[in-house]
Chains A and B, each alone.
Chain A
Amino acid sequence: MESFLAALLLQAGYNAALVGIGAALLGFAAGAAGTFLFLRKRALVSDAVAHATLPGIGLAFIVLVALGGDGRNLIGLLAGSAVTAWIGLICVEWMARRTRLSEDAAIGAVLSVFFGIGIVLLTVIQTLGTGRQAGLEGFLLGSTAGMLFEDAVLIAIGGGFAVLATWLLRRPMTLVAFDPDYAAASGYDVRRIDIAIMALVMAVTVIGLKLVGLVLIVALLIIPPVTARFWTERAELVIWSAGALGAVSGYLGAAISASAPALPTGPIIVLVAAALFLFSLLFAPARGVAAALIGHRRFQVRVHRRQGLLALTREEPILEPYTLRLLTAEGLTRPDGVATEAGRAQAAKVARDEHRWEVARDIHQDAALTGRYDGLTPIEEVFTPDEIAEFDRRIGAPRAIEGPA
């Protein structure tokens, strides 16, 4: 625990502090840049892009060594990974656009083929004299052991550019993700904006290779936006909340892994992000599972309340004990089931809305709202005043509802 706190406060040594800051920056960039990937429903393309970095790493190493340089030069390796990632992305785009293959099939093909080539290259490199200490397999799951100041700077600069580009393109990307036809009709080049979304994802993938590795970077691109989506109905807030969630995951994950010797950084970061996701899934207001359960419970109450009130308007006895308890607790009936003054007034309103709903069902033959044509949601929340006025016009003047004799 102490070592965790120390890591949290950047007191656990130079390397741990670098890793923590780098992971937070990477998390922010990944969350923000991954948002439109998620909103455009192309999350899995990033998996293909990430796996397509591996042959680039191998090739870059071979080229660097052949040129007499240091095969472990990070910038050189990342540049190589960017090249093959781009080729992989173009392959997916081309197959989905020009052949009869669907995008998921294209993703599967590119992912496995590129990854296979990468593994072959890495195996070949192992047999080279210089390859033995290269540590290239660290790019699979990330490694923080040799994290240098320059690496953190690289993440900061690359991530900064990715966030800036996300901010700059947020409106065109929102349009394309929400309503591509409208975006095209407004003069936006949908294809180029789609490529920009993927280029951002690729940039984040490449700068994240060192820290979390190509297998897990996808999680940092996808989980934070999905988590953020639980909390807000506004695209712009999804971007920045996803960035914040990614940063928190990165920082916390790095601190946890620094506090114990055997905990790998990348996977721990992903697990922290997953924990935040799980919490949101369960407890987010409006969209969470708990909210859905509570909503269901409230719905049940409304059903019983309405049926009880309708029974009152029809002067029928209320038979179900739960209904009677509910109405009595609200002061709408006496415990023997006889309506109070307030109960009669409420019953009249329910009866009137019932008529309005009947008319509404007649007028609206529209599936989107069928679930809400229930007479339970206050009608004013579902229809505009002019729509309700139209229902009332069809119903005629209000009628008095007789109280129970």
Chain B
Amino acid sequence: MSPDLTLAAQSGQPAPAAPDLAPLAVRGLTVSYGETPAVFSVDASFAAGAMTAIVGPNGAGKSTLLKAALGVIPRLSGEVTIFGAPIDAARDRIAYVPQRASVDWDFPTTAIGVVLMGLYRKVGLIGRLTGAHRATALACLDRVGMAGFAERQIGQLSGGQQQRVFLARALAQEADLYLLDEPFAGVDAATEKAIIDVLKHLRDEGKSVACVHHDLATVRDYFDRVLFLNVRRVAEGPVETTFTAENLNAAYGGRLAATHIDELQLASA
């Protein structure tokens, strides 16, 4: 009997890999449209109580990664766990803020109506939406500075205001993990500040936040961690050590001008 086998016998069967208790962990995630992979064999694990930016060039599969992790689009292969549990057991712990473009803006609903949608799962099919639910929704609108617009039809709001309403809907879910798809795309400066304040507040409460993010200039100010993605995983880690010129070049494949990189407050590699 070789020593190796003795060791294995003593410690019992080789233990299965400990379940990843991270708020969101994906292993070997692959998604493809036709025969072109949009996301290829990505392993990633988002840290608890942190704000993570998902960064990469256009078509890098950033939104696709989130959508596939959540089951919005089918995966070709790969595993997803939410706080160590399969996703369907953990739906109540996730709040998702989709891209604004995915919505029918002429739909008959108001700002508060959208926020109440965040409570549908909790209320169930036959439960009544009570005054208490409306109060919750209004409080969520207030947190994003939109309480005065509660009865406005959703299409009559500006892009930034619509984004705030979507964030309020996510807040109403009282989740532990917030996944946002380009929350700052096409919004005004005041909205950007309002959103980042709310997100930082969530983080300080111990919630986890991950955003698909396209503005490299703000990565350092807004986020704790960064995941570089370009179909494959390029790098992942704390902003201080991972947000480097090297990783940027690796993710963007030289599509960033050197002067642009110089302007970013990069970590010294």
Contact = CB atoms under 8 A, between A and B. Distances in A.
A200 to B, nearest CB: 15
Contact of A39 (B96, B108, B125, B187): B108
A368 B169 CA distance: 21
- Nearest first, the 3 closest Cβ-Cβ pairs linking A and B are A185-B96, A187-B91, A366-B159
B120 A175 contact: yes
Contacts of A172: 120, 125
Contacts of A184: 70-72
Interface stretch (B35-43, B146-154, B202-210, B226-234): B146-154
Interface string A220-258: 000000000100111101100000000000000000000
Interface residues of A, number: 38
Residues of B in contact with A, size category: 35 or more
B122 to A, nearest CB: 11
A175 B117 contact: yes
Interface of B: 67, 70-72, 88, 91, 94, 96, 98-99, 102-105, 107-110, 113-114, 117, 120-121, 123, 125-126, 145-146, 148-149, 153, 155, 157-162, 169, 179, 186-191, 194
A171 B179 CA distance: 22
A363 B102 CA distance: 24
Contact of B108 (A187, A238, A369, A382): A238
Given A233-B108, A234-B110, A235-B109, 13 more contacts: A39-B107, A172-B125, A181-B67, A182-B98, A185-B71, A187-B88, A233-B110, A235-B113, A364-B159, A368-B157, A384-B145, A387-B188, A387-B190
A178 interface: yes
B6 to A, nearest CB: 47
Contacts of A385: 145, 148
Contacts of B162: 368
B190 A386 contact: yes
Contacts of B96: 181-182, 185-186
A163 to B, nearest CB: 14
B190 A363 contact: yes
B56 to A, nearest CB: 20
B109 A178 contact: yes
B126 A168 contact: yes
Given A171-B125, A234-B110, A234-B113, A178 B103 contact: yes
Nearest to A382: B158
Contacts of A233: 108-110, 153
A368 B152 CA distance: 15
12 contacts: A169-B125, A171-B117, A178-B109, A185-B67, A185-B98, A187-B88, A233-B153, A234-B109, A234-B113, A363-B188, A368-B159, A382-B158
Interface of A: 39, 41, 168-169, 171-172, 174-175, 177-182, 184-187, 229, 232-235, 237-238, 363-369, 382, 384-387, 390
Contacts of B188: 363-366, 387
B183 to A, nearest CB: 14
Contacts of A185: 67, 70-72, 94, 96, 98, 179
A174 B121 CA distance: 13
Given A174-B117, A184-B71, A364 B158 contact: yes
B70 A364 contact: no
Nearest to B99: A181
A186 B121 contact: yes
B104 A177 contact: yes
A227 B187 CA distance: 34
Contacts of A171: 117, 120, 123, 125
Nearest to A186: B121
B125 A368 contact: no
